[in-house]
């Protein structure tokens, strides 16, 4: 045996096997090299189905046989015996050519390699022995390519399924939603978005906000998107957009980034929440401020039944103090409404803390103390004629600066907040709580005197005491 020739054959076959990464290319290239080294003109790779039937995977050199790829074939009796061997008798195959020679090579338990010729082929080398060590590598390569392709197919199916799901979801969402690429051009949108703009989806795709809206509408959107792209943090803002007819709609614009399968930024997704009717409704409701504030105050009743009527009682006493301090009618109206909503921030405090039947821990009290700022956040964007948000924020500030949330003192605290501070404390002391009995009126007034000048405005305390001395009482009965 010429060992140099044998080694060259093995190296060539090994290189051809390791070069390809798809199953079809692997089988085609491997067959070409096996045919070259065997001198046979036709080759095929088959996959075992059962004892006699095989699936044709790849054929090189015979067009008739090649058309049978992905079909099953029953091997001639001469080729059904296991092992590597040569057949030199006529073979019946489903083709127009008559083969009288075959080299049968088992790649592994699953795959078979046949090299065919019409006439016997003589070899200077023992091909079965030379090919044998390479066949194991070929079998492993076939399995790797097959598994990789199956995985890729499943992944593609999953991606198609996810894409169909996302498209269905996009169309089902009732609010306007869209996607943009990194250059801020529209990729896709749902019918709600195209309906808002009164444009076909085809007229939106590929365009920028500046091409769809005038600068007054588009610039705030573009600025928000630029901020998103630079900071990578989801953005939202209230702005206006208009349709083709120029009709303006008030919206809240939410936008965030989306990513490709490799985790790279692919663009941004945005959504419009149309708040036109909401904002128009707010404008109409400003004419009914008293009713609106009363509704906000009533909301606290559902959170803590034990404080029912608290806001109304605080409002009654605050108005009485304000009148005694000669506040004008407009300011008294603002004081009344502020007293009704001074504790509205408690809505954001967990109900189980508000209604806890014991004294609060430091952590729980710290949560309660957040209600002043929470109330401010709720009220600050509602355009009242009076500084209700600031009053709600300051109603737990102390005259000596020891209060919260900002430690204001003296005249830094609005007079209305100082009045509510006293009225709120009196009502709290005169009301029953799960963790203590209610104070007597004398006890409550003595507490006011005790903290006059530290917690409470001295003038407000004096007026409050004078009112109760003159017979002031709350209209409802406190338990």
In a domain, 164, yes or no: no
Residue 348 vs residues 66, 351, 364, 376, 404: alpha-carbon distances, Å: 74, 9, 13, 12, 17
- CB atoms closer than 10 angstroms to residue 412: 13
Residue 173 vs residues 35, 178, 323: alpha-carbon distances, Å: 60, 11, 54
Cα four-point dihedral sign 360, 362, 363, 369: positive
**Per residue in 398-437, pLDDT tens?**
999 999 999 999 999 999 999 999 999 999 899 877 667 8
In a domain, 112, yes or no: yes
Residues 369 and 443 in one domain: yes
Angstrom distance (rounded) from CA 446 to CA 465: 9
CA angle 76, 43, 23 (to 5 degrees): 110
Mean pLDDT of the chain: 87
- CB atoms closer than 10 angstroms to residue 292: 18
Angstrom distance (rounded) from CA 405 to CA 372: 7
In a domain, 242, yes or no: yes
Residues 143 and 200 in one domain: no
- pLDDT confidence band for 478 (50 / 70 / 90): very low
Angstrom distance (rounded) from CA 389 to CA 415: 14
Residue 319 vs residues 7, 315, 474: alpha-carbon distances, Å: 107, 6, 12
Counting the structural domains of the chain, the total is 3
Give yes or no for a contact between 251 and 238, defined as CB atoms under 8 angstroms apart. yes
Cα four-point dihedral sign 102, 104, 110, 111: negative
Residues 177 and 146 in one domain: no
- pLDDT confidence band for 1 (50 / 70 / 90): very low
Specify the 3-state DSSP secondary structure of 68: coil
In a domain, 95, yes or no: yes
Q: Which residues lie below 8 Å from residue 382, measured CB to CB, with a gap of 6+? A: 282, 388, 389
Nearest to 334 by CA among 400, 290, 284, 379: 290
In a domain, 191, yes or no: yes
Residues 121 and 78 in one domain: yes
Specify the 3-state DSSP secondary structure of 186: strand
Angstrom distance (rounded) from CA 447 to CA 441: 10
The confidence score (pLDDT) of residue 476 equals 52
Q: Which residues lie below 8 Å from residue 420, measured CB to CB, with a gap of 6+? A: 314, 318, 335, 338, 339, 342, 391, 395
Residues 118 and 230 in one domain: no
Angstrom distance (rounded) from CA 47 to CA 88: 23
Residues 234 and 113 in one domain: no
Beta bridge partners of 91: 99
Residues 133 and 8 in one domain: yes
Angstrom distance (rounded) from CA 282 to CA 279: 5
Residue 274 in this model has a pLDDT that exceeds 60: yes
Work out the end-to-end distance of the chain between its first and last CA atoms, rounded to an integer number of angstroms.
113
In a domain, 109, yes or no: yes
Domain range holding 449?
Answer: 304-470
Q: Which of 79-83, 250-254, 347-351, 387-391 has the lowest mean pLDDT?
A: 347-351
Residues 381 and 435 in one domain: yes
The confidence score (pLDDT) of residue 7 equals 83
Residues 69 and 180 in one domain: no
In a domain, 167, yes or no: no
Most confident option among 17-21, 376-380, 432-436, 471-475: 376-380
Residue 35 vs residues 40, 90, 118, 161: alpha-carbon distances, Å: 5, 19, 14, 42
Residues 208 and 320 in one domain: no
The CATH number of the domain holding residue 422 is 1.10.3210.10
Arithmetic mean of pLDDT, 46-65: 92
Beta bridge partners of 72: 55
**Per residue in 13-24, pLDDT tens?**
888 887 777 899
Arithmetic mean of pLDDT, 266-287: 83
Residues 361 and 256 in one domain: no
Residue 26 burial (CB < 10 Å; 0-12/13-18/19+)? Answer: buried
Name the domain boundary from 89, 118, 150.
150
In a domain, 162, yes or no: no
Nearest to 298 by CA among 344, 335, 349, 354: 344
Angstrom distance (rounded) from CA 357 to CA 349: 16
The CATH number of the domain holding residue 181 is 3.30.450.20
Residues 382 and 433 in one domain: yes
Angstrom distance (rounded) from CA 32 to CA 24: 12
The CATH number of the domain holding residue 122 is 3.30.450.40
Angstrom distance (rounded) from CA 58 to CA 46: 7
Angstrom distance (rounded) from CA 412 to CA 390: 11
- DSSP secondary structure letter of residue 189: E
């Amino acid at each position: 045996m010429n060992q140099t020739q044998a080694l060259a054959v093995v190296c060539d076959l090994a290189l051809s096997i390791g070069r390809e990464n798809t199953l079809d290319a692997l089988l085609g290239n491997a067959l070409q090299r096996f045919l070259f080294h065997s001198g046979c003109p036709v080759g095929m790779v088959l996959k075992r189905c059962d004892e006699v039937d095989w699936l044709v995977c790849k054929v090189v050199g015979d067009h008739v046989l090649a058309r049978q790829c992905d079909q099953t074939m029953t091997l001639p009796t001469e080729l059904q015996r296991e092992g590597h061997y040569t057949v030199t008798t006529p073979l019946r195959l489903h083709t127009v050519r008559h083969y009288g020679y075959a080299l049968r090579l088992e790649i592994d338990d699953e795959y078979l390699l046949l090299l065919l010729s019409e006439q016997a082929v003589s070899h200077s080398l023992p091909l079965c022995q030379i090919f044998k060590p390479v066949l194991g590598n070929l079998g492993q390569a076939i399995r790797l390519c097959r598994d990789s392709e199956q995985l890729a197919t499943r992944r593609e199916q999953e991606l198609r399924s996810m894409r169909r799901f996302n498209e269905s979801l996009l169309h089902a969402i009732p609010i306007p939603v869209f996607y943009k690429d990194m250059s801020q051009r529209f990729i896709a949108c749902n019918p709600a978005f195209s309906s808002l703009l009164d444009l076909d989806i085809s007229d939106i795709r590929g365009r920028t906000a500046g091409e769809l809206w005038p600068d007054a509408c588009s610039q705030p959107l573009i600025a928000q998107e630029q901020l998103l792209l630079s900071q990578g943090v989801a953005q939202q803002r209230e702005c206006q957009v208009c349709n083709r007819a120029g009709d303006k709609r008030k919206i809240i614009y939410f936008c965030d980034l989306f990513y490709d399968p490799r985790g790279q930024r692919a663009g941004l997704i945005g959504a419009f929440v149309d708040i036109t009717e909401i904002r128009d409704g707010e404008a109409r409701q400003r004419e009914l401020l008293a009713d609106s504030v009363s509704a906000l105050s009533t909301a606290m009743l559902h959170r803590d039944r034990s404080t029912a009527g608290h806001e109304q009682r605080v409002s009654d006493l605050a108005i009485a103090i304000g009148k005694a301090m000669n506040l004008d009618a407009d300011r008294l109206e603002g004081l009344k409404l502020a007293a009704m909503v001074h504790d509205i921030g408690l809505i954001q405090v967990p109900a189980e803390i508000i209604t806890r039947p014991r004294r609060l821990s430091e952590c729980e009290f710290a949560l309660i103390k957040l209600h002043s700022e929470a109330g401010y956040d709720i009220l600050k964007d509602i355009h009242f004629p009076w500084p209700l948000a600031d009053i709600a924020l300051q109603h737990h500030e102390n005259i000596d600066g020891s209060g919260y949330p900002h430690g204001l003192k003296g005249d830094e605290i609005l007079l209305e907040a100082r009045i509510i501070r006293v009225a709120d404390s009196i009502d709290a002391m005169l009301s029953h709580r799960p963790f203590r009995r209610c104070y007597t009126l004398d006890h409550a007034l003595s507490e006011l005197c005790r903290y006059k000048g530290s917690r409470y405005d001295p003038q407000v305390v004096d007026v409050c005491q004078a009112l109760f001395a003159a017979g002031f009482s709350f209209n409802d009965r406190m338990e």
